[in-house]
Amino acid sequence: MSWQIWFVYGLVALAVLLFFSGRVRLDLTAALVIIALAVSGILTPAEAVSGFGNPLVMLIAGLFIVSEGLARTGVASAVGVKIAALGGRSERRLILLLMPVVAVLSAVMSSTGVVALFVPVVLTLAREAGLPPARLLMPLAIAALIGGMLTLIGTPPNLVVNRALIDAGRDGFAFFDFTLIGGCILLLAIGFLLTLGMRLLPQRTSAPSDDRHRRLHEFAEHYGIGDQLRSLRIQAESALVGKTVGEAAMRREHGLTVIALQRGRWLSSLNPVLVNTRLQADDVLIVVGRPETIATQTTDLRLSDQGFPHGLQRRYRESFGAAETLVVPGSPLVGKTLAQANLRARQRINVLAMRRADKPLEIDFQDTQLQSGDLLLVAGSWSDLERLTGPRTDMVLLQMPAELADRTWHANQAPWAVLITLLMLFAMATQVTSNLVAVMLAAFFMVVTRCVEMNEAYRSMNWQSLVLIAGMLPLADALAKTGGADQIVNGLSALFAGHGVYVILVGLFLLTSLLSQFISNTATTVLIAPIALNLALGLGYSPQAFMMTVAIAASTAFATPVASPVNILVLAPGQYRFSDFVKVGVPLQMLALAVTVLLVPLVFPLTRT
């Protein structure tokens, strides 16, 4: 073998070692691969950096924008609420719900697109359940990869082996020929992740800094108002109908602080309450007040107590929040009461509670004169709260809650986001255009319809993931260009020729699965499929069993983060290490191997031709 082949083999080994050690950033390792291939002369400089112009990199970049649009408009959160309603805070139940849904979707559309759609959903579910995202994102990726094993169009390797059979004059696969084997692997994978896999999934949180931020319910408990948030519907005969909020004097005369108003049923109908907001019948007021006061006023004012159901809590948190502020020395607020400060009119915020000397004030604090050092828990829309972050002379913003991550920035654009995403998935499923064109159009229209602002689109990019895949793609080109891939395949072909058919199936599976951990599963299938076909024909066996084995093995890209765009999409938000994929992925590969070798000969008899 030439030195170029040995050099590429050594580079692959070095990259794997660095990936596995976790001591060098993944994108830095990918950059090292690019430099080594260019400096060695194995690839030209243009070939070495060609990964950055690869359609796959552009496709993933576009999916980041689409995913951001779904998150910013609240669509992802809404889906998360539906699943959360069924799954609750149970990790096992959430995995049991997620994996079949994701697998079925991936059976008829791009697994990459499905994962891009569900990443923000899973992040929302993890926050709701109080789980590290790493506990749910890897099962998401695994389900999407297995989904490709369920139908003929589930993943490109299935189409590659099908075309190879047809070109050889053999019968191709039917649409559901993959379903039995893929379905069994899916069931075993779910069972594995619900049992032994629970111990192998990392407990790592996605953002250690989150621990510094209280959640809204913690703020409420800290200020002693944990049971005081309610929603009250104004009945038609209520005396409040037709009055403005200022005229109603809810806080002064009735002891209730109105912090938001829901008019209609859509998320965008949940609005801040201003002094001149005129109240109507069937308006729902989000109020803070003592339970006994609420009970009295619902009767006196003809209000219907709606409680504060989970769905409304979620919608409220997406548009509104609370923050902790400090009255600074020399503030113009010092010496004034809250009524005199009139923060609702001046700042569009409401003071929910107050602490002095690290104790919540139990009395009606509206007429209490403010002092420097007082802590105020204020509520308002996220945009109004964020205005408190600038230089100020009256108060200092101390903490925003962790729920700021749930904020819906462009709720009015949610229908556009849904339509754009559905059209993208339809185009990808029906192949009316290429996946790249479908995704780029979707990303473009997400920006045009203002589901995502341009600066948000740029920030949505996970540059580490993009550099990683762009750096590893040329390595596959180097293996092919130097003949290294052919050397591996030909050597193993000679090795398998003298053994029984089951040994050959195991060998084909392991070879295909191993290569698919480091290069595109499509490229792997293109390399291995002709060898598998020739082996079957040379040994006198019908080739369908051999080709099915190759196709299934190519989709078992579970064991490395670079094995598939699906894994790359969950890598950063899950804060995964290379070893995390190995721990979970290798046992799953062995399960898939056992199922394939046992079932393939039954479904596709190894009859000699």
Q: Are 375 and 362 in contact (CB under 8 A)?
A: no
The DSSP letter of residue 277 is P
320 token code pair: 């509104």
Question: Per mean pLDDT, which range of 102-106, 143-147, 300-304, 537-541 is the poorest?
Answer: 537-541
Rounded to whole angstroms, the Cα distance separating 225 from 39 reads 65
More confident residue, 567 or 492: 567
Comparing 62 with 526, which gets the higher pLDDT? 62
User: Other C-beta atoms within 10 Å of 412: how many?
Assistant: 14
| pLDDT confidence tier of residue 465, bands split at 50, 70 and 90 | confident
Query: What are the Cα distances from residue 329, in Å, to 334, 366, 399?
Result: 8, 20, 19
Chain Cα centroid distance, residue 542:
42
Tens digit of each residue's pLDDT (9 = 90 or more) over 338-372? 878 878 777 788 888 888 877 777 656 777 888 88
Are the C-beta atoms of 479 and 523 separated by less than 8 Å? no
What sign for the dihedral angle of Cα 356, 357, 358, 359?
negative
DSSP per residue, 427-495: HHHHTSS-HHHHHHHHHHHHHHTTSS-HHHHHHH--HHHHHHHHHHHHHHHHHHHHTHHHHHHHHHHHH
Q: How confident is the model at residue 20 (pLDDT cuts 50, 70, 90)?
A: low
- In this prediction, residue 26 has a pLDDT band, given cuts at 50, 70 and 90, of confident
Beta bridge partners of 233: 284, 304
Sheet-wide strand order for 229-234: 270-271, 257-262, 284-288, 229-234, 303-307
Q: Does residue 209 surpass a pLDDT of 50?
A: no
Which among 318, 255, 287 is positioned nearest to 77, based on CA atoms? Answer: 318
Task: Report whether pLDDT(270) > 70.
Answer: no
Q: Taking Cα atoms as reference points, which of 398, 364, 400 lies closest to residue 381? A: 400
The count of other CB atoms within 10 Å of the CB of residue 480 is 16
pLDDT exceeds cutoff 70 at 433:
yes
Average pLDDT over residues 370-381: 83
Mean per-residue pLDDT for 407-412? 66
- Per the CB < 8 A criterion, the answer to whether 143 and 100 are in contact is yes
- Local structure of residue 24 (DSSP, 8 states): S
Confidence grade of residue 560 (pLDDT, cut at 50, 70, 90):
confident
Q: How many Cα neighbours within 13 Å face the side chain of 280?
A: 7
Radius of gyration of the chain (CA): 29
Query: Taking the C-alpha atoms of 127, 128, 132 and 135 in order, what is their torsion angle to the nearest 10 degrees?
Result: -130
Mean pLDDT across the chain: 82
| pLDDT tens column, 55-108 | 878 887 888 888 788 777 877 666 666 776 787 778 999 999 999 988 988 886
Q: What are phi and psi of 376, to 5 degrees?
A: -115, 130
Phi and psi torsions of 135, nearest 5°: -75, -20
Residue 343 in tokens: 């923060």
Residue 92: both structure tokens together: 């096992």
Higher pLDDT, 159 or 497: 159
Average pLDDT over residues 275-304: 87
What pLDDT score was predicted for residue 392?
A: 59
Three-state DSSP class for 173?
coil
Whole-angstrom Cα distance, residue 205 to residue 213? 14
Domain boundaries, the chain: 6-205+422-603, 214-400
CA 312, 315, 320, 324 torsion: positive or negative?
positive
pLDDT in tens, 480-489: 788 887 786 6
pLDDT at 464 over 80: no
Report the pLDDT averaged over residues 192-211. 75
Are 354 and 360 in contact by the 8 Å Cβ rule? The answer is yes
Task: Collect all residues with Cβ–Cβ distance below 8 Å to 228 and sequence separation of at least 6.
Answer: 220, 288, 289, 290, 291, 294
Mean pLDDT of 534-561: 89
Q: Which CATH number, 3.40.1350.10, 3.20.20.70, 3.30.70.1450, 3.40.50.2000, labels domain 214-400?
A: 3.30.70.1450
Cβ–Cβ under 8 Å, residues 572 and 542: no
CB 137 within 8 A of CB 122: yes
